[in-house]
């Protein structure tokens, strides 16, 4: 049994799709976007068009924003295939309403709906919109004003020191917490899982903010967040929240019977101390439940379409176990 556990731990370690090499510095900006230290005009025109369409989607005209900025790795030398077009729309929230938190919630809601209904890409890089309050500080080593065609913060080529082990440990810890949210979902503890998701999202947000303020974009916390986003873990967490809501709101014919079972289970307390058989059962259930998610992180991340001869999408289901004795000598 220890041998099987060791194999599983090795599989976990190997399947952590960290992509740490993608954080390395280049000696040039992304060539499809930049020319002579400025963004290509046809790209900036298209980005402005996208922002204007979004503002119209919000029921507002373009006069409400003060600037449009491009930030993140595509406005820097650490761009990679995983980069996205981080487009910030600068708006003075107080020109819309005195309650700036209400305005922020309004834009977040509209942005979420926009992102769910659109998949806009520029040379394969996904366009991510963010509405930023004009009085809100933004930490980044590269910020370019699309409207004024000038650098607000010009990036420099540097060789940052990255604590690879520290980043891996922090990302692994957060991915383990995400897996445990799925455990709650599989056990039908929907309210507890929903509460855990909200707390975990807030934890990740505060962790990243702290890292950016303390050490900048190459902090362990920010790189760990980027790993979660790149390997699909953040997407899994957000998708699960929708699934939980759907489960909680659904009513089936055997609802009363299930409710009785649920109430009965909730009255059963766990045994004190460590029980090998109980813990082994829980462990095996977790291994089985997370197999699909780990497989998804390995082979299903990326925006590329399937092309011949690989037309079929990857099968994320678990393969059947070999019969007893198979593989033995």
How many other CB atoms are there within 10 angstroms of residue 249's CB atom?
A: 7
Give the pair of three-digit tokens for residue 235: 């997407």
- CATH tag, 30-153: 3.30.460
pTM of the predicted model as reported, rounded to 2 decimal places = 0.56
What pLDDT does 298 receive?
A: 54
How many other CB atoms are there within 10 angstroms of residue 219's CB atom?
A: 23
DSSP string, 104-138: HHHHHHHHHHHHHH---EETTEEEEEEEEETTS--
What pLDDT does 56 receive?
A: 93
Q: How far apart are CA 144 and CA 70, in angstroms?
A: 5
Question: In a structure prediction context, what are the per-residue pLDDT tens digits for the chain, which is 329 residues long?
Answer: 444 444 334 433 444 455 555 556 788 999 999 999 999 999 999 999 999 999 999 999 888 999 999 988 899 888 878 788 989 999 999 999 889 888 888 888 888 788 778 889 999 998 989 899 999 887 777 899 999 999 999 988 876 777 777 788 888 888 888 888 888 888 888 888 889 898 888 888 888 887 877 677 778 888 888 888 888 888 888 888 888 888 888 876 665 555 554 454 444 444 554 355 554 565 566 566 656 655 665 555 555 566 666 666 666 566 655 565 555 54
Q: CB burial class (10 A; 0-12, 13-18, 19+) of residue 125?
A: buried
What pLDDT does 275 receive?
A: 52
Residue 3: C-alpha distances to residues 6, 7, 8, 66 (Å): 5, 6, 9, 61
What pLDDT does 308 receive?
A: 67
What pLDDT does 257 receive?
A: 54
What pLDDT does 46 receive?
A: 97
């Amino acid at each position: 049994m220890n041998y099987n556990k060791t194999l599983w731990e090795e599989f976990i370690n190997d399947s952590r799709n960290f992509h740490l090499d993608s954080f390395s510095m280049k000696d040039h900006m992304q060539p499809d976007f930049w020319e002579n230290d400025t963004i290509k005009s046809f790209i900036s025109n298209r980005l402005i068009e996208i922002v204007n369409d979004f503002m119209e989607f919000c029921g507002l005209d373009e006069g409400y924003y003060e600037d449009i900025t491009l930030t993140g790795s595509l406005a820097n030398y650490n761009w990679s295939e995983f980069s996205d077009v981080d487009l910030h729309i600068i708006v003075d929230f107080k020109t819309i309403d005195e309650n700036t938190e209400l305005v922020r919630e309004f834009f977040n809601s509209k942005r979420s709906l926009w992102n769910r209904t659109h998949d806009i890409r520029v040379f394969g890089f996904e366009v991510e919109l963010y509405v930023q309050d004009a009085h809100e500080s933004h930490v980044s080593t590269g910020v370019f004003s699309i409207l004024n065609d000038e650098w607000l913060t010009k990036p420099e080529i540097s060789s940052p020191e990255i604590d690879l082990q520290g980043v891996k440990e922090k990302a692994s810890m957060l991915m383990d917490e995400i897996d445990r949210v799925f455990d709650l979902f599989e056990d039908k503890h929907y309210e507890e899982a929903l509460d855990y998701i909200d707390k975990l999202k807030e934890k990740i947000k505060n962790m990243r903010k702290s890292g950016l303020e303390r050490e900048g974009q190459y902090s362990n916390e920010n790189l760990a967040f980027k790993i979660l986003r790149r390997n699909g873990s953040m997407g899994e967490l957000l998708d699960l929240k929708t699934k939980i809501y759907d489960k909680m709101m659904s009513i089936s014919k055997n609802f009363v019977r299930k409710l009785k079972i649920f109430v009965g289970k909730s009255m059963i307390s766990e045994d004190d101390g460590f029980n090998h058989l109980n813990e082994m059962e829980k462990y095996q259930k977790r291994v089985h439940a997370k197999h699909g998610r780990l497989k998804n992180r390995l082979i299903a991340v990326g925006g590329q379409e399937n092309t011949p001869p690989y037309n079929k999408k990857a099968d994320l289901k678990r393969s059947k176990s070999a019969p007893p004795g198979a593989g033995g000598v």
